[in-house]
Structure 1
């Protein structure tokens, strides 16, 4: 078995694609409309679907927003330097909701960003298994 993707429902597909590509540096791998189902899927990631886990964005044509619920947590992205990643997000127009620094119950350096739909993205340093 292999972990393939995580799916998020989004209210504005282009705005979300712009965020994940321009702010977080992912690549749009593929996109397809499904007129009979009235939805569009877009797959994004840092590498090919054959070799990497990717993000699936689902846009239901007549839905502009969703209630995120309290069971959902976040997407985690490993970065070389959490402080630099958070600053890069801010410079690209993204929203940081928790500045870079040690987590509240350990020494691991983390930061959190928020995408256009309110989904949280955690940045965690490459040495995260030590903290």
Structure 2
């Protein structure tokens, strides 16, 4: 068994695809519209779905906003240069909610950012954990 994908509901599919592909460097792997169900799915990731887990961005037509709730925490992404990754997010209109630095009670260097729908993403500096 393995994890295939994590699904996130998004309010503006094009904006979300641009954020994940351009700000985070993922690839748009596939996209399919379901007119009878009034939704579109887009899969993004750093590698092909056969090789790694990816994100499924689900856009329900006509819904432009969701409440995140209290159960979801964050998605973690390893980055080679945490400062550059945060700068790239800022350039794409994302929000850095915790600047890079060591985590409390440890040495792992982390930062937190938010995507356009306010989903939290933890950046973890490669080699620091």
TM-score of the alignment, normalized to the shorter chain, above 0.5: yes
Q: Which whole-Å CA distance do the structure 2 matches of 1:21 and 1:97 have between them?
A: 20
Residue 59 of structure 1 aligns with which residue?
59
When the two structures are superposed, what TM-score results if normalisation uses the length of structure 2? 0.94
**Partner residue, 2:29:** 29
Aligned partners of 1:13 and 1:57 also within 8 Å: yes
* 3-state DSSP of counterpart to 2:89: helix
How far does the alpha carbon of each residue in 1:101-131 deviate from its partner, in whole angstroms, 9 at most, with x for none?
01122111000111000001100022243xx
Q: TM-score, normalised by structure 1?
A: 0.92
The 2-side partners of 1:71 and 1:113 are apart by: 18
Aligned-residue Cα RMSD (Å) equals 1.2
How many residue pairs get matched?
129
Larger deviation, residues 70-79 vs 89-98: 89-98
- Name the CA distance, whole Å, in 2 between partners of 1:36 and 1:76: 34
Q: Which runs of 5+ in 2 are unaligned?
A: none
Structure 1 gaps, min length 5: none
Residues 118-127 or 8-17, more deviating: 118-127
Q: 2:12: which partner in 1?
A: 12
- Answering whether residue 66 of structure 2 is matched by residue 74 of structure 1, we say no
